Structure 1
């Protein structure tokens, strides 16, 4: 079992201005640094149950990505390379060197972009339920919906709780993975002025991201990469996608799990991360 600790005594909240944006991040622990990059529609809080176990061995940094959570919400800069540069400059601002990166959902291709731009500064990379792409390959209907300017936020704003609760259920296997407290936390941040508009920008830079990835994949990553998928979500697809971008890959499909791995299979994910990061 994951031991409970006093989260507020172990971790602290900070703000940093880097790359023209103010980023909120939570940090704690000691040891080699591990950066946790959340997905949509989430914030740093996605990792709050796993951070204590990691902090026993590592310095943990969990930022809110540009446009999400308590980070500022500019009108531009939501392509993966720019967001990765945000995180790179944050790591430098904190005074850290080489890091391991764990990314989930949109945080995964951001983590890849970081590793592709600064390969000597990344020890290990974990890609969870997300991977860079070089061609548009369809996908779930919400990706096209979110990519439509104005109309998507017009239909969601004011109905955030309904939309987010549906979203978590729709892409999860364990329907009880998100508690009411979890939902309250995310609704609080995604109901803020400009929050949904900013978050949806990640879906509106797909063509730019495709072009960036096509260029980056000319030089495959050589650091160890762990590609994780949920059995009832992307499964082995994450590993398959990463074959085009990295040469030292291992795959993992977590059973009885959908898209929300940190919530649905906390203990198994913790076990795999600690084993991979400590090699």
Structure 2
């Protein structure tokens, strides 16, 4: 976790189940299912880095770094492996985590996500118009400048 503080909700006991939220959500999105899942698992639902009550560093938002954060959290909690469920952006982090540390991810479920490589392989004007937000947010520093102090001129 390299000094990044991650907020998480923990419930239950038993084998570890990690729930990763999507964008623009937080761990709170898992609240409706948390108690049922905690009946026979230790359930941990973190706020991904940059979301909710977790730290918001200037860098470290690539999926590999975020997956390493989750691996570090599991180790810090004293577990060797986890069942991992990821939704949307959390699914991308979960997928990267499973690729990088297959010995730690016992089982994996990814929800509501189109694999990135597949989406870009099929990219055409129609798809681009439906996913314009992704393409917009890929522009270096532009979204931040548009919502930050540097864009609006005060008189």
Normalising by the smaller structure, the TM-score range is 0.7 to 0.9
TM-score, normalised relative to structure 2 = 0.82
- Measure, in 1, the Cα distance between the counterparts of 2:72 and 2:25: 22
Residues paired across the two proteins, number: 140
Question: How far did residue 31 of structure 1 move?
Answer: 1.3
Runs (5+) with no aligned partner, structure 1 = 1-17, 158-279
Q: Which has the higher contact order (CA 8 A, sep 6+)?
A: 2
Runs (5+) with no aligned partner, structure 2 = 149-155
Q: Is the 8 A contact 2:71 2:104 kept in 1?
A: no
**2:94 counterpart residue number:** 111
- Measure, in 2, the Cα distance between the counterparts of 1:53 and 1:155: 42
Q: Is the 8 A contact 1:19 1:85 kept in 2?
A: no
Q: How does 1:214-225 map to 2 (within 5 A)?
A: none
Question: How far did residue 148 of structure 1 move?
Answer: 2.9
TM-score, normalised relative to structure 1 = 0.47
* Aligned CA distance change for structure 1 residues 125 and 81 (closer, same or farther; 3 Å): same
Deviation digits for residues 70-121 of structure 1 (CA, Å, limit 9, x no counterpart): 1111111111111000000000000011100000011001101111111122
Partner of 1:85, secondary structure, is: helix
- 2:3 matched to 1:20? yes
Q: 1:140 aligns with which of 109, 131, 135?
A: 131
- Measure, in 2, the Cα distance between the counterparts of 1:117 and 1:132: 16
The runs of at least 4 aligned residues of structure 1 exceeding 6 Å deviation read none
